[in-house]
Structure 1
Amino acid sequence: MARVVVVGAGLGGLSAAARLGALGHQVTVLEQAGQIGGKLGLLRREGFGFDTGPSLLTLPAVYRDLFLKTGAPLDDVLELAPLDPACHYRFPGGLTLDVPNDGPTGVSRAWAQALGERAGQDWTAFHRRATQIWDLTRNPFLESPLDGARTLAGLARHPADVRTVAPWLSLRGLGRKYLSAPEQRMFLDRYATYTGSDPRRAPAALATVPFVEHAFGSWYIPGGLWQLGAAIADRAVSHGVKIRTSAPVERVLAAPKVEGVRLESGETVPADVVVSGVEAAHLYRDLLPGPEGRGARRALRKASPSLSGFVMLLALRGRTPGLRHHTVLFPADYDAEFDHVFGTGPQAGKPSPVPDPTVYVSAPDDPALRPDDDHEAWFVLVNAPRHEPGTGLDWNAPGLAESYATKILAVMASRGLDVRERLLWKEIRTPADLERDTRSTGGAIYGSSSNGARSAFLRPANRSPVPGLFLVGGSSHPGGGLPLVGLSASIVTDMIGKA
């Protein structure tokens, strides 16, 4: 069995550690922060609690597999509660929609009730195409390590399959082929942001994102999703894994194969295998700056970094009638949002805070996250440009964060959610804060975006150019989001088992 060092105690690193520990490897996890979880965090203050990362679990089979392969089943450890409705949407023009959590048929029915029978039929047809894309891409693109051009070659042997996946088509382009209602196309566009991407450039294959959400359900963990990371850490420790916090890694040692890591304290931790759960750009730029990572750095420069997010944690007095767990408030001009975030179109080269953004609210009706039944804890997120002082937007500019928070509260009020008179306090987290806390470049939530047909092949591979060094997490293959991060840990565990 190998000595394994896992760099980073985010969900990818912890999942890999638990799986490898269960196989008998000697595993040590090194986390630079004072707590585990990475982007899957928790903030508690004055009786309020906030998930500071994901607030929704889809494709729970990924984590059921992890727990089954490492011990007791997931449902013996955590409660998974279905969310119904999965989300409440408010569109420009006044349409509102509750998306039910009872399968694809229920989603089509909701569209038919909101916009007429044609809309229901359109969504059914779209979901059928998304199902076909899922069936074709799940194993070669999501559950296996990418094998460069050979992965595409396998698909290309069947022209009908290529036409189904349509690698030349954007997600928005696919939506236009199936969806006649502008509200439905806007609804679909939002799923590109699940990978930090622009729907005008993200591939049609991202139709699998709404497919997964609707086919396998939307789930919440009472008490907060942060508990998923804590439960995986407990499972890892039960297999002898050592988890060290406040232990930032300075360098991956390789000559030419992996020999271990050196901490910022100067301590050296020897290893036969290193699994990096930190952002790939940070790994290859800072932890492996020599010639071994030159090719990976070159590939990363070709990729489009993902968007970031501007977050407000709101402690509110009183209760909101009819409030759902998730609410999305769409703007009048969705394209303008992506232009501001990515610095494209009229904003070319000038990314800036979105003046009229989509607002995402997560407000669980969860007694564990509020001091009493007369209060609410809201997580509010808007898409935002990365923190790039000197070349782009500097989120540390004096007064910017506070003035933008005031702007977002006003936008929420204009769309029917005015909480300004109920606000006890708020905490603001900018892309600069995310970069500092997680060492993600510019606060990019997902590392590389999925912008462009070749984006999957520009995303860093799970096996690095350095023998014995592997990558897990949202910035490596197969991508960001809780399901894909969990799949990356499964892929890497299999690769190490075969190394």
Structure 2
Amino acid sequence: MSRIVIVGAGVGGLAAAVRLQALGHRVTVFEKSDTVGGKLGVLEHDGFVFDTGPSLVTMPQVLEELFADTGPPLSDSLTLRRLPIAARYRFPDGAQLDMPGDITEIPAALDAALGRGRGAQWSQFLTRAERIWDVTHQPFLESPISMRDMLVGAVLRPADVAALAPWRTLRALGRHCFDDPRLVMLLDRYATYTGSDPRHAPGALAAVPWAEQRWGSWYVEGGLGMIAVALRDRLVALGGTLALGCEVTEISTRADGHVDGVVAADGSRHRADIVVANADAAQVYGRLIRTTPARRAARALRRTTPSLSGFVLLLAVDDPPAGQPHHQILFPSDYDAEFDAVFGRGGAPRPVDDPTVYICAADDPAVVPGAGTAAWFVLVNAPRHDPGGGTDWDTEGLADHYADRILQIMAERGVDVRNRIRHRIVLTPAELSRRTLTPGGSIYGTSSNGPRAAFLRPANASDVPGLYLVGGSSHPGGGLPLVMLSARIVADLIGPS
């Protein structure tokens, strides 16, 4: 029986802990916060319950598999509800699309909202996206293998490479497939699922909308934070140990460079045969461990482009407007200007003056204090917190001023709740950075900007012997399903006790 320490109780760390405990290891999870979930955070205020991180479940089979592999089925712990409308999109010309949650209904909805023939174009695109999914999901998303291994090891056939077209960006793919700029804009948005710029992110990200539409969009009753609670309960039921309010300040090593445990903020040492880090890779290699391989990894990460961050409004709304969908996206007139601002093109990274606005308005009595109220999560893409070279989100007055600007934009685009707000809570990239120890609040660690960037994330098996990485900043990437796949890869690499 190996002693395994997991640093961080985010979804990746908890999922890895559950799998490893079920495999017979003795697992202890250290978490600096007093709650579990990491970026899958929850904030409660005056009877309102807000998810402060992910607000959408895709590929629910990954979550179901995690529970089935480690004990009783998911349905014993959580109730998932499929959304009939995946999202409402409002385009700059005022056109509105209610994207069905059923993939078979999407072509007709596109034709009705955007004009005849748009559904056929999207269907043709999805056929190509499915091919990309078929090529990548097993050897890449579900394995520790890298794109270099796929190419050098001849895992990919010439026809596979042609389907992936790694030289083509997501924006270029959209322009190749669509003659309607609104469809290009719709596809562009999926680059933000990895914190990236569609003009630089690889076309392989086309697999993301295919997977989302193939398996649907889902909500967890009580809020997505319940996923972390269910994983915590599963870990405890299996006999694992969870130490909350215990920050790890160092991953220690033996003389031969192999990890041998962790050091907590109070100076206590905890021995381990294996350490799994569910922390941002830049923090792991730049702060927690001090070995030559770690320094090399830290240098490599400094050469990458950090992912974008997010500026969040949590709105306690009285008498919310009728007919609001669960998810709503309000596009700007100039999407390129948004990415220029966030990634610092044409100047330093800066708040977007006219951003895309994402609204999550869950219809769930469990997250509000009573009838006639709603808990809204509002998100816009934002540059990370970087006082030295970009945006200092702690600048006095900036957060409140920008929050007012977002509410004004919502009103201009048809969703005015300014006179209905009981409470407004603002979370900036600076606050995200402090809450999750993520440098600058970069949600996904590194972006996928560049033809190979999506395949060059830090590996799950570190070059530091005995150290593994799990979570959104490591392979295969961010988002709930990929983070849980990351945990499965780590558990498979370590193996049973």
TM range (shorter): over 0.9
Cross-structure match for 2:89: 89
For 1:485 and 1:152, how far apart are their aligned partners in 2?
Answer: 24
Q: Which one-letter code corresponds to 1:376 in the other structure?
A: A
For 1:465 and 1:13, how far apart are their aligned partners in 2?
Answer: 19
| CA shift in 2, pair 1:496/1:48, >3 Å | same
Aligned to 1:493, the other structure's residue is in SS state helix
Aligned to 1:86, the other structure's residue is in SS state strand
Q: Which one-letter code corresponds to 1:415 in the other structure?
A: R
User: Is contact 2:312–2:378 with CA below 8 Å preserved after alignment?
Assistant: yes
Cross-structure match for 1:267: 268
Structure 1 position 147, deviation (Å)? 4.3
Cross-structure match for 1:242: 241
Structure 1 position 47, deviation (Å)? 1.1
Aligned to 1:123, the other structure's residue is in SS state helix
User: Is contact 1:284–1:297 with CA below 8 Å preserved after alignment?
Assistant: yes
Structure 1 position 247, deviation (Å)? 0.5
User: Is contact 1:133–1:165 with CA below 8 Å preserved after alignment?
Assistant: yes
Cross-structure match for 1:473: 471
Q: Which one-letter code corresponds to 1:410 in the other structure?
A: Q
Q: Which one-letter code corresponds to 1:252 in the other structure?
A: I
Q: Which one-letter code corresponds to 1:365 in the other structure?
A: D
Structure 1 position 290, deviation (Å)? 3.4
Is 1:316 aligned to 2:314, yes or no?
no
For 1:187 and 1:457, how far apart are their aligned partners in 2?
Answer: 23
Structure 1 position 252, deviation (Å)? 0.4
| CA shift in 2, pair 1:12/1:244, >3 Å | same
| CA shift in 2, pair 1:87/1:41, >3 Å | same
Is 1:356 aligned to 2:357, yes or no?
no
Structure 1 position 65, deviation (Å)? 0.9
User: Is contact 2:21–2:239 with CA below 8 Å preserved after alignment?
Assistant: yes
User: Is contact 1:303–1:458 with CA below 8 Å preserved after alignment?
Assistant: no
Structure 1 position 498, deviation (Å)? 7.4
Cross-structure match for 1:114: 113
For 1:326 and 1:76, how far apart are their aligned partners in 2?
Answer: 27
Deviations 1:340-384 (A, max 9, x none): 00001x23xx11100000000001011111111111111000000
For 2:353 and 2:456, how far apart are their aligned partners in 1?
Answer: 31
Matches within 5 A, 1:209-224: 209-224=208-223
For 2:393 and 2:156, how far apart are their aligned partners in 1?
Answer: 48
User: Is contact 1:254–1:466 with CA below 8 Å preserved after alignment?
Assistant: no
Cross-structure match for 2:175: 176
Deviations 1:177-205 (A, max 9, x none): 11111111101100000110000000001
User: Is contact 1:312–1:426 with CA below 8 Å preserved after alignment?
Assistant: yes
Aligned to 1:175, the other structure's residue is in SS state helix
Cross-structure match for 1:391: 389
Structure 1 position 146, deviation (Å)? 2.1
Structure 1 position 157, deviation (Å)? 5.4
Matches within 5 A, 1:200-211: 200-211=199-210
Aligned to 1:293, the other structure's residue is in SS state helix
User: Is contact 1:156–1:162 with CA below 8 Å preserved after alignment?
Assistant: no
For 1:116 and 1:50, how far apart are their aligned partners in 2?
Answer: 37
For 1:282 and 1:486, how far apart are their aligned partners in 2?
Answer: 20
Aligned to 2:117, the other structure's residue is in SS state helix
Q: Which one-letter code corresponds to 2:447 in the other structure?
A: S
| CA shift in 2, pair 1:290/1:91, >3 Å | same
Aligned to 1:260, the other structure's residue is in SS state strand
For 1:393 and 1:73, how far apart are their aligned partners in 2?
Answer: 45
Cross-structure match for 2:60: 60
Structure 1 position 150, deviation (Å)? 2.2
Cross-structure match for 1:422: 420
Structure 1 position 331, deviation (Å)? 0.2
| CA shift in 2, pair 1:220/1:298, >3 Å | same
Structure 2: runs of 5+ lacking an equivalent: none
User: Is contact 1:299–1:458 with CA below 8 Å preserved after alignment?
Assistant: no
Cross-structure match for 1:50: 50
Structure 1 position 148, deviation (Å)? 6.0
- CA RMSD, Structure 1 to Structure 2 (Å): 1.2
For 1:174 and 1:498, how far apart are their aligned partners in 2?
Answer: 43
How many matched pairs?
495
For 1:130 and 1:51, how far apart are their aligned partners in 2?
Answer: 30
Deviations 1:265-315 (A, max 9, x none): 100010000000000000001101332302211221221110000001011
User: Is contact 2:320–2:417 with CA below 8 Å preserved after alignment?
Assistant: no
Aligned to 1:420, the other structure's residue is in SS state coil
Is 1:341 aligned to 2:339, yes or no?
no
For 1:57 and 1:95, how far apart are their aligned partners in 2?
Answer: 26
Structure 1 position 458, deviation (Å)? 2.6
Is 1:233 aligned to 2:227, yes or no?
no
User: Is contact 2:100–2:106 with CA below 8 Å preserved after alignment?
Assistant: yes
Aligned to 2:85, the other structure's residue is in SS state coil
| CA shift in 2, pair 1:257/1:368, >3 Å | same
Q: Which one-letter code corresponds to 1:257 in the other structure?
A: H
For 2:227 and 2:220, how far apart are their aligned partners in 1?
Answer: 8
Q: Which one-letter code corresponds to 2:476 in the other structure?
A: P
Q: Which one-letter code corresponds to 2:259 in the other structure?
A: V
For 2:196 and 2:111, how far apart are their aligned partners in 1?
Answer: 28
User: Is contact 2:196–2:307 with CA below 8 Å preserved after alignment?
Assistant: yes
User: Is contact 1:303–1:459 with CA below 8 Å preserved after alignment?
Assistant: no
User: Is contact 2:23–2:496 with CA below 8 Å preserved after alignment?
Assistant: no
Structure 1 position 153, deviation (Å)? 2.4
Q: Which one-letter code corresponds to 1:327 in the other structure?
A: Q
Cross-structure match for 1:76: 76
Q: Which one-letter code corresponds to 2:435 in the other structure?
A: D
Aligned to 2:446, the other structure's residue is in SS state coil
> Could you state the TM-score of these two structures normalised by the residue count of structure 1?
0.97
Structure 1: runs of 5+ lacking an equivalent: none
